């Protein structure tokens, strides 16, 4: 390393200590949690979600050796990371300390609005084994679904049935975008057109995703994009009506697609936010997805689902899987059992505003009230 590089790296390290470190981090016996990959807007939320932890957020542009030097000065007691991907130095630090990195992702009933719009989450998934969308290794959710004795847990299953009834009745989804967009000027005809049957033609819905999302990167055994999804649905159902639902992040311009939709526009009808999710689910015979949660939301409503990748709900006998299931998913489960594991046993729910611990029924109640409030404003 050149002297200039050495000085610059040292200056970076000292600047981090001055700006980020507080006296409480240096108390004897203080247990510090390193946090990796958390966006700036999520960092203050993390401290509120977990007030018992002392967080040090690792900079994304840190020079080589930064984490090793920091660990000598302020040893890591725990490490949390948003998503699956972490820097090799963070992995090395975890191995040296004998720490299992706790991976964090949004839960399955997340918010009223998109995370890309910086809407705080109402649920999180915390997993020291992996994360639910990583089909390369068994996650904590995989362990729950593979081993929990659902038949011997009637209280859990009663709560699962009650929550499923609420979700169906109130059209609850992950992001809960306003349902009244279909009534906006210029948008109602699209919703009406999609609800109308076209003779005996089958209607298939393909749910698009952000194509470089980690759920696709870690959930597929081969490269796949939204165009592949549309082509597969069209090939499987010649003459069927194929509807392609664009992912909300693409509609809002927050992400750029990797594939050119014009290449498959002749195979499908393209819709965006002009059609509520409940409208799509009420008028289709089958759903196609790569790894989207929309596939499980369809299963909750009794709609057959084809998956090209291996989302958490695939491999349990519920879906038409086009990717081989990993060996730890040999058990056959019902939709209610997968729901109980994924929505009740796996996530942490957070109360709006305070971000204190909550539960799924309370979260659903808040979402229903918030959707009603937003609908009244239009």
Segment among 52-66, 79-93, 235-249, 306-320 with least mean pLDDT: 52-66
Average pLDDT over residues 163-174: 94
The mean predicted confidence, pLDDT, of the chain is 87
The phi, psi pair for 55, rounded to 5°, reads -100, 140
User: Strands across the sheet with 32-36, in order?
Assistant: 54-57, 32-36, 76-82, 102-106, 123-127, 347-350, 357-358
Q: Cα–chain-centroid distance for residue 183? A: 28
For residues 294 and 313, the answer to whether their CB atoms sit within 8 Å is no
Domain with CATH 3.40.50 in the chain: 3-146, 150-377
Percent of the chain with pLDDT over 70: 85
Closest CA to 111 of 357, 353, 292, 378: 353
Please say if the pLDDT value at position 185 is more than 50: no
Beta pairing partners, 36: 81
Percent of the chain with pLDDT over 90: 62
Average pLDDT over residues 289-294: 97
CA distance 334 to 291: 19
User: Strands across the sheet with 203-207, in order?
Assistant: 269-271, 241-245, 203-207, 286-289, 305-307, 320-321
What fold is seen in the domain 3-146? Answer: Rossmann fold (3.40.50)
Kindly indicate the confidence band of residue 72, based on its pLDDT and cuts at 50, 70 and 90.
Answer: confident
Dump pLDDT digits (tens) for 307-321. Answer: 999 999 999 999 999
What is the dotted CATH code of the domain comprising 150-377? 3.40.50
Residues 6+ away with beta carbon under 8 Å from 133? 105, 214, 215, 218, 219, 291, 311, 312
Report helix angle 88-97 to 66-73, nearest 10.
Answer: 30
Dump pLDDT digits (tens) for 333-364. Answer: 999 999 999 999 999 999 998 999 999 999 99
Return the C-alpha torsion angle 15, 18, 21, 22, nearest 10: -170
Residue 132, pLDDT score: 98
Q: Cα–chain-centroid distance for residue 142? A: 16
Please say if the pLDDT value at position 182 is more than 50: no
Residue 60, pLDDT score: 80
Residue 280, pLDDT score: 86
Dump pLDDT digits (tens) for 114-141. Answer: 787 889 999 999 999 999 999 999 999 9
Residue of 74 and 264 predicted with greater confidence: 264
Q: Copy the structure tokens of residue 225.
A: 């994009």
For residues 303 and 284, the answer to whether their CB atoms sit within 8 Å is yes
């Amino acid at each position: 390393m050149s002297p200039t590089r050495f000085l610059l790296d040292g200056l970076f390290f000292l600047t981090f200590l001055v700006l980020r470190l507080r006296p409480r981090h240096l108390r004897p016996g203080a247990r510090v949690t390193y946090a990796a990959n958390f966006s700036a807007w999520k960092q203050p939320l993390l401290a509120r979600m977990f007030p018992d932890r002392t967080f040090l957020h690792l900079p994304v542009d840190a020079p080589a050796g930064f984490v090793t030097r920091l660990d000598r000065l302020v040893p890591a007691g725990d490490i949390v990371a948003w998503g699956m991907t972490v820097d090799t130095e963070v992995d090395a630090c975890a191995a040296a300390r004998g720490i299992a990195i706790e991976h964090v992702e949004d839960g399955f009933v997340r918010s009223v609005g998109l995370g890309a719009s910086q809407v705080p989450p109402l649920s999180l998934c915390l997993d020291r084994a992996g994360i639910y969308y990583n089909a390369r290794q068994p996650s904590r959710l995989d362990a729950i679904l593979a081993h929990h004795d659902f038949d011997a847990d009637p209280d859990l299953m009663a709560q699962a049935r009650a929550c499923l009834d609420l979700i169906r009745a109130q059209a609850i989804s992950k992001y809960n975008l306003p349902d009244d967009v279909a009534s906006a000027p210029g948008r109602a005809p699209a919703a009406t057109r999609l609800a109308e049957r076209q003779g005996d033609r089958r209607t298939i819905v393909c749910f698009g995703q952000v194509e470089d999302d980690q759920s696709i990167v870690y959930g597929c055994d081969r490269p796949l994009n939204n165009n592949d999804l549309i082509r597969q649905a069209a090939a499987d159902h010649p003459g069927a009506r194929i509807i392609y639902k664009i992912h909300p992040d693409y509609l809002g311009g927050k992400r750029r697609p990797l594939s050119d939709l014009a290449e498959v526009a002749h195979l499908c009808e393209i819709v965006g936010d002009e059609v509520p999710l409940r409208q799509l689910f009420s008028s289709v015979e089958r759903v196609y997805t790569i790894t989207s949660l929309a596939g499980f939301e369809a299963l909750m409503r009794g709609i057959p689902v084809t998956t090209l990748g291996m989302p958490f709900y695939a491999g349990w006998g519920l879906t038409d899987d086009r990717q081989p299931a990993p060996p730890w998913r040999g058990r056959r489960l019902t939709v209610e059992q997968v729901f109980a594991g994924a929505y009740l046993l796996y996530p942490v729910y957070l109360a709006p505003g305070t971000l204190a611990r909550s539960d799924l029924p309370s979260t659903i109640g808040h979402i229903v009230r918030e959707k009603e409030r937003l609908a009244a404003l239009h």
